[in-house]
C-alpha cells in the first residue's frame, strides 16, 4: 500500500520516531562518507510552483546520495491545474517516476496529487502547511537537547504554514506550544482546535511575545510576509515590529532557549543579526537537516529501510 507525506499527522508517533532514527543514521553515514544507495535506479519528480533554493538543493542532492535521480520541473515546464489537471499529472508521473515531491501554492493541489498518484507524494510546502520543514526542525531539537521531554516551543510571528505544521506535530509529540502573534494573524482556528482536542499538548495563542517566551526551549520565527504576500510587506512590517526576535526577547526566554528559523531570513525584520548569528542560533544545523530528514522520508515511503 502506497504512503504519502502530506501532513505530519500522516505518520503515527512511532513512525515519526522511526523516521528520526533513520535521519540520524543517514546523516552519520553521510558525514562519514559511507554510501547508502537505498533508492538506486529510482526517480524523483520535483514539481515547483513556488521557487526555493533549499528545497531543490536538499531534495536533489539527497536523491543523488541515495543513488537515485531527481527531475526539476518549474512552472514553465508544468502548468498544474491550468494547462493540465492535477489528477492527470499525478496519473502520468506515476507511469514515469517512483516518487513525487511538490511545492505548491494551493493545498488542494497536493491533496489531489496524493489522491490520484499511484506512487508516494511528499508535500514540499503549500500555503497551508510545511511538514518536511517541521520534521527537520524537531530532528534538530532532538539533536541539540538529546530528548523531547518537557518541550516548550514559542513560535513568534505570523500564523502561517510553518506554524500550522508545528500544531500538527503537537498532535503527535507532547509539548507546550505557544504562537505569539498580532491580533488578526492567528493560525487557522480549526488546526488549533483539533490540536487542543487531542489533549496531548498544551497549545495556545498569545499577543505578547515576551511573556510567551519565558522558559522556552525553542524560539522560532519566520518571515512576516510569505511568498505571494509581497504587496502586504510594508504594512505587515509595521504590524509585526513588536514581534521581532532580538537580544531582549532571547534574554526573556533564557539561556536554555535555541533560536530557529526556516530560512530565508529577512535580517533586521523578524530577527536581528545578533540573534541569528548568535550562540543560541541553530538555524544552519536546521537547514542542513532538511536534506537528511527528507532522505529518510523518501526511503521510508519507498519501503527501502
**Domains parsed from the chain with CATH numbers:** 8-130+290-301 (3.40.50.1370), 133-286 (3.40.50.1370)
Residue 230 predicted with pLDDT over 80: no
% of the chain surpassing 90 pLDDT: 93
Q: By mean pLDDT, which of 77-81, 142-146, 148-152 is the weakest?
A: 77-81
Alpha-carbon distance 34 to 199, whole Å? 42
pLDDT of residue 47: 97
In this predicted structure, what is the pLDDT of residue 118? 98
Q: How many angstroms separate the CA atoms of 76 and 183, rounded? A: 38
For the residues 133-155, what does the mean pLDDT come to? Answer: 98
Q: Which residue has the higher pLDDT, 76 or 248?
A: 248
pLDDT (tens digit per residue) in 83-128: 899 999 999 999 999 999 999 999 999 999 999 999 999 999 999 9
- Paired with 169 in beta bridges are none
In this prediction, residue 30 has a pLDDT band, given cuts at 50, 70 and 90, of: very high
Closest CA to 205 of 179, 170, 233: 179
Q: Given strand 176-180, what is the order of strands in its sheet?
A: 202-206, 176-180, 152-156, 218-221, 258-261
Averaged over 181-207, what is the pLDDT?
98
**Could you confirm whether 262 is annotated as catalytic?**
yes
What is the pLDDT averaged over residues 42-71? 97
Average pLDDT over residues 45-53: 94
Residue 227 confidence (pLDDT) = 65
Region 188-209 average pLDDT: 98
Which listed residue (90, 262, 265, 301) is catalytic?
262
Amino acid at each position: 500500500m502506497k504512503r504519502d507525506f502530506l501532513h505530519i499527522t500522516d505518520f503515527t508517533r512511532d513512525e515519526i520516531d522511526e523516521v528520526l532514527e533513520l535521519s540520524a543514521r543517514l546523516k552519520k553515514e553521510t558525514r562519514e562518507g559511507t554510501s547508502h544507495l537505498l533508492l538506486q535506479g529510482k526517480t524523483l519528480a520535483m514539481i515547483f510552483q513556488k521557487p526555493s533554493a533549499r528545497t531543490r538543493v536538499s531534495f536533489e542532492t539527497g536523491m543523488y546520495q541515495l543513488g537515485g535521480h531527481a527531475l526539476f520541473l518549474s512552472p514553465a515546464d508544468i502548468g498544474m491545474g491550468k494547462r493540465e489537471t492535477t489528477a492527470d499529472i499525478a496519473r502520468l508521473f506515476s507511469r514515469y517516476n517512483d516518487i513525487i515531491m511538490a511545492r505548491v501554492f494551493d493545498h488542494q493541489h497536493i491533496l489531489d496529487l496524493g489522491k490520484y498518484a499511484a506512487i508516494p507524494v511528499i508535500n514540499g510546502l503549500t500555503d497551508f502547511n510545511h511538514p518536511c520543514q517541521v520534521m527537520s526542525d524537531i530532528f534538530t531539537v532532538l539533536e541539540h537537547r538529546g530528548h523531547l521531554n518537557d518541550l516548550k516551543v514559542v513560535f513568534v510571528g505570523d500564523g502561517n504554514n510553518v506554524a500550522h505544521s508545528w500544531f500538527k506535530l503537537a498532535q503527535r509529540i507532547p509539548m507546550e506550544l505557544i504562537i505569539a502573534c498580532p491580533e488578526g494573524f492567528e493560525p487557522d482556528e480549526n488546526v488549533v482546535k483539533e490540536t487542543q482536542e487531542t489533549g496531548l499538548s498544551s497549545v495556545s495563542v498569545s499577543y505578547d511575545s515576551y511573556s510567551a517566551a519565558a522558559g522556552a526551549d525553542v524560539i522560532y520565527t519566520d518571515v512576516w510576509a510569505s511568498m505571494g504576500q509581497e504587496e502586504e510587506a510594508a504594512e505587515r512590517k509595521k504590524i509585526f515590529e513588536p514581534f521581532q526576535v532580538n537580544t531582549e526577547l532571547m534574554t526573556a526566554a533564557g539561556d536554555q532557549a535555541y533560536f530557529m528559523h526556516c530560512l530565508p531570513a529577512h535580517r533586521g525584520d523578524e530577527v536581528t543579526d545578533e540573534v541569528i548569528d548568535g550562540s543560541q542560533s541553530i538555524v544552519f544545523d536546521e537547514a542542513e537537516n532538511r536534506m537528511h530528514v527528507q532522505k529518510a522520508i523518501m526511503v521510508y515511503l519507498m519501503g527501502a529501510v
